[in-house]
Structure 1
């Protein structure tokens, strides 16, 4: 589903041009993000955000103005166009409004948008990773596991006829393991992530990454010190 209807995009740009702009650029963005953290085998934090807004930049005789709004209704966007163009409202646009044509792009295939997956499934995944890391060795004293995703949709249109949109979705897992023995402390971390949806975890085992981090932290306890001396 597009962020804005094509007719509304056209109407906003034409409104700004009629108000006196020489050049108009409309930028619309929706951004969803979420982060979850587990420490000491307990959920410590769950935070989510959902931002939606539009910015309108106009140029009139070398003067640039910019206005931002979170009201993406037709009335709200047209009001924003009028406000942004006030600086040039007496000049009249010097450039014609070109037909909007989309630029070619390679769409990012997302099978499972992460914002459609409830926090319960993500928390279960993190708790499994926490347990897997702790089961590696009694030397593992602390484990911190985190999940995060961001999904961004962008639309850009200009009075020169450019009209483009893009979407970027990223998911990431973060695992930090701390091993301790006889007062010596070693840490290790894994942080896999990709530009994919939640299907990332269909072939990515959070538990395996957790075990890898824990095993590396334990190995570091037995590692010999690096040789000292002048560099060759």
Structure 2
């Protein structure tokens, strides 16, 4: 990693170019993964990626360079090379005052209490046996219709340092682990898939605590259920979206529109709406980077600011955006510890961490009972969204018809189509069963771990795409 004295010289070089702000992001990431396909080991991979990213701000102009070297002289020379590229006459950022240059403060170190991170010598055979246990459990439950089982375990240990001309000097270690389980079933005419991918900011101890039989059973049951499901009807219907990964709709259709990455560009439907009612009064939503051990949590964001709990919506009223340094300068809003990036190859941007709708007063059964005819989306899958408009199209990975207030037959090929700003106004009931789901979120600063989440919610009307 980089010595503080070297960081100070690089920051001073940036200052000498006339930059208003200079930041250094140092990273060393070790990754390892194992995968099993059809009861045979498919791959065993590991590797290290290390480097330094340097960001310089000149008014409204942002310059970002990166390198694999830690050599002080080479990094200083890299900063000086940017001087001929600078353009005069840039418009000042709309910040009351730019961050002043400060002497680097004594380094702040953080880290989580993982018991068995990748730095510990856990035998590879132990991890292979974990994947084999998933495979055996899936095949026991799947019968003749089960055609394929895939299991994968990935771990990473990311060590970072952040230095800035504000005086920031922080060091953090982030350990992630994720298990992917997928089953494919077929009957000769149709195939269907079940999928789960739990993960956490933790070490190998997380996998040791997973119930492999329950995980495999859930995936196989879903694959078989969809194989025999009837075609989903199309049209506008009331929908109950269950907890956990159901929060992907809020994340994609609303969350990205609450990041200053889009708000500052006037590319969000929620720009300039702080203090206004944007959702039904039963909806409160949060982006929280402080939850211990959660997939999207951080001690510091990738700009060196301690993370925090950010109340985005309270009783339907927009309370805050997710704000990084540049977003704060462009909009005047206070930073929220939301600057994130995939690696040293990316400049940071405002991004989500653990983003979820908060619990309400109702039981899931009450939501179901309130609908005469509609759809129950028990498990959401992937989809697409246009951040500028909030228009989305998401598949329901497991769904059922609701008939006379009861869950009825399973359906296949169900998709939910709509606009984020309209859907959150049509949420009329929120249950008391919050849960998180893990995913990888892609945006301008790369792909990062992010939690989605919610309790079950009732949407009074949404367009359903199906086979009819």
Q: Same fold (TM over 0.5)?
A: yes
Match for residue 81 of structure 1? 76
Mark the CA change 1:229 to 1:7 in structure 2 (over 3 Å): closer, same or farther.
closer
Q: Of 106, 114, 117, which residue of structure 2 is paired with 1:113?
A: 117
SS at match of 2:210: coil
- Quick check: 1:191 aligned with 2:202? no
Counting matched residue pairs gives 220
TM-score by length of 1: 0.77
TM-score by length of 2: 0.41
Counterpart contact for 2:23–2:162, Cα < 8 Å: yes
RMSD, aligned CA: 3.3
Greater radius of gyration (CA): 1
Structure 1's unaligned 5+ residue stretches are 90-94
SS at match of 1:135: helix
Mark the CA change 1:217 to 1:96 in structure 2 (over 3 Å): closer, same or farther.
closer
Deviations 1:153-184 (A, max 9, x none): 22111223122233332211111112233644
Match for residue 53 of structure 2? 55
Match for residue 25 of structure 1? 23
Counterpart contact for 1:20–1:60, Cα < 8 Å: no
Mark the CA change 1:165 to 1:216 in structure 2 (over 3 Å): closer, same or farther.
same
Q: Of 131, 134, 157, which residue of structure 1 is paired with 2:136?
A: 131
Match for residue 6 of structure 2? 8
- Quick check: 1:98 aligned with 2:93? no
Mark the CA change 1:17 to 1:177 in structure 2 (over 3 Å): closer, same or farther.
closer
Q: Of 64, 69, 72, which residue of structure 2 is paired with 1:71?
A: 69
CA distance in 2, matches of 1:113, 1:101: 29
Regions of 4+ moved over 6 Å: 60-64, 102-106
Deviation larger for 182-191 or 140-149? 182-191
Structure 2's unaligned 5+ residue stretches are 85-98, 238-468
CA distance in 2, matches of 1:227, 1:65: 50
Match for residue 178 of structure 1? 184
Deviations 1:96-138 (A, max 9, x none): 8522236989743322113533433222211111111001123
Bigger RCO of structures 1 and 2 (CA < 8 A, at least 6 apart): 1
| Greater per-residue helix proportion | 1
- Quick check: 1:154 aligned with 2:171? no
Mark the CA change 1:208 to 1:87 in structure 2 (over 3 Å): closer, same or farther.
closer
